[in-house]
Chains A and B, each alone.
Chain A
Amino acid sequence: MQYFLDAENVNFSYMNDAEEPPVRTEVLKNVSLRVEKGEFLAVLGHNGSGKSTLAKCFNAINLPDSGTVTVAGLRTDDENNLLPIRRTAGMVFQNPDNQIVATIVEEDVAFALENLGVEPKEIRRRVDEALKTVGMYEYRMHAPHKLSGGQKQRVAIAGILAMNPDCILLDEPTAMLDPRGRKEVMDTVKRLNREQGVTIVLITHYMEEAAQADRIAIIDGGEVLMDGTPKSIFSQVETMKHLGLDVPQVTELAWRLRKDGFDIPADIITEEECVQAIAALLEKGR
């Protein structure tokens, strides 16, 4: 069976030629990761574990030293596949300031389509559509530097959306945003996934965001250590702590209550579940 995103035994290292002798940093070690079409995958791992490096392998910015990466059946090591792959798997980065190219919002959203040589009329249509999808249509004539962080990031997402990608890779898109901007971006991402079936790969340090995914992959030291549903991953609180990662606050709460002898499920990851479980506990205690 062909997977939509498929990394097989990928090894990747950065070469630093500036130093003598050249320094080689091995980042990805025999990584295999598959994502199905329409899936929402969250990738967790601490700083320097290789998450960004892996994401860049999925749109042919990084080419593996060995192993293969295919996107919708296209191999990333074939030059001719470059544009089709980047059109299929768009990427959004952490700092919105460093990915917006133009001085007017709508011109920036049009950038990718202009590069692809799309007809001006069609560009206009798709730019408007993308801006409406992320709720930034009223701001189309604004200068990007006058927008809030969350708005800029949504413009960046619109710039990718305009290409009609089947997949969006987001590399810590909410890391520089305030809670409100974070919610705006997460709501947009979830809506795209649910309503338009866009495959999402979300790299994040926020466990609450990861809990909303269909699946979580944990990367540590350039290897995929764990891969499973949010419930199955977060219920292993001790393993996560051992890896230096957090679990959602409610999971932690439930875990502590369990340790103190309360009868509460181990796989609580959302607030509602937590509220219900505690209410049930109180009910029983009465």
Chain B
Amino acid sequence: MLKDITLGQYLPGTSPVHKLDPRVKLVLTVEFIVMLFCAKNMWAIGVGALFCIISFALSGVPASLMVKSLKPIVPLVLITSVLNLFFVRTGDVLWKWKVLQITTEGRDTALFMIARIVLLIIGSSLLTYTTSPIDLTDAIENLLSPLKKLKVPVHELAMMMTIALRFIPTLIEETDKIMNAQKARGSELDTGSFADKVRGMVPIFIPLFVSSFRRAEELATAMECRCYHGGEGRTRMKQLHTTYRDLIAAIYTTLFFGGIIALNVLIK
């Protein structure tokens, strides 16, 4: 059962969005986020939404997934909108009951904030839907590499990410095995009070820890055997390439950014 967990939410594909250089995609996602925070009115946010819709359509990621990615943020959206709805006190009063009141401005700010959060999540999920975790790691390592001069262990961090990504499925499988083994010995993991359940976790995590340490040691030896000696002098088989696509994507994103700025200025 645990085995079916997939890591991240990458959806392999061959769309133009998939084919972008992961570095460019990462930078453009950041640009999109900045863009959303620059948007000052509903029209500007609308341009951001248009950008999202077009990009999603290009990526071929089903809309149902887009909705799914929004599920975890529903509470956040609710809280923000309630706060804005009741606590913004300027503008015409629309509705009033004792101390609670809703104003036109409160309503507009709430809608604006919801749109902003929703677009933020959709935009960044587009990145994770269309970029494999490993490409993302490579992109981050590559983009952060200037920090190596400041003695930031960029390569080591990326290597840790890679190994974590590699071992998560293995460890999940192992947890499953240990759980079954403990169940076979009569431990009841699914019943009892919360405290019982927590106590039931101990005999699962201890063997898991022990075996992880053994794995780590063996992996370190195996890496040494394959001439691993840190990031120095290391090359990569897969080189990241920027192509005309990336240029087009950058121009396209920046055009929308320009649109948002223009609307900010034009519509007060």
Contacts and interface: CB of A to CB of B under 8 A. Distances in A.
A234 interface: no
Contacts of B225: 59, 61, 86, 90-91, 160
Contacts of B237: 106-107, 110, 113-114, 120, 123-124, 127
Interface string A75-109: 00000000100110011010101111111101100
B148 interface: no
A139 interface: no
Interface residues of A, number: 40
Contacts of B71: none
B227 interface: yes
Given A98-B218, A101-B166, A163 B238 contact: no
A190 B21 CA distance: 42
B227 A83 contact: yes
A103 B228 contact: no
B143 interface: no
A115 interface: yes
Is chain A's interface secondary structure helix, strand, loop, or mixed overall? helix
Contacts of A163: 226-227
A63 to B, nearest CB: 13
B99 to A, nearest CB: 55
Scoring A103, A116, A117 by chain B CB atoms within 10 A of each residue's CB, the highest score goes to A103
Contact of A115 (B133, B214, B221, B228): B228
Interface string B110-144: 00000000000000000000000110000000000
A103 B133 contact: yes
Interface string A50-91: 000000100101000000000000000000000100110011
B180 to A, nearest CB: 18
26 contacts: A61-B221, A91-B222, A93-B218, A97-B215, A98-B215, A98-B218, A99-B218, A100-B166, A101-B162, A101-B222, A102-B166, A103-B133, A103-B165, A103-B166, A112-B226, A114-B234, A115-B227, A115-B234, A117-B233, A120-B235, A120-B236, A127-B237, A144-B166, A145-B166, A145-B169, A145-B170
Q: Can you list the 7 inter-chain pairs with the closest CB atoms, starting with the nearest? A: A99-B222, A112-B226, A98-B218, A110-B237, A123-B237, A145-B169, A115-B227
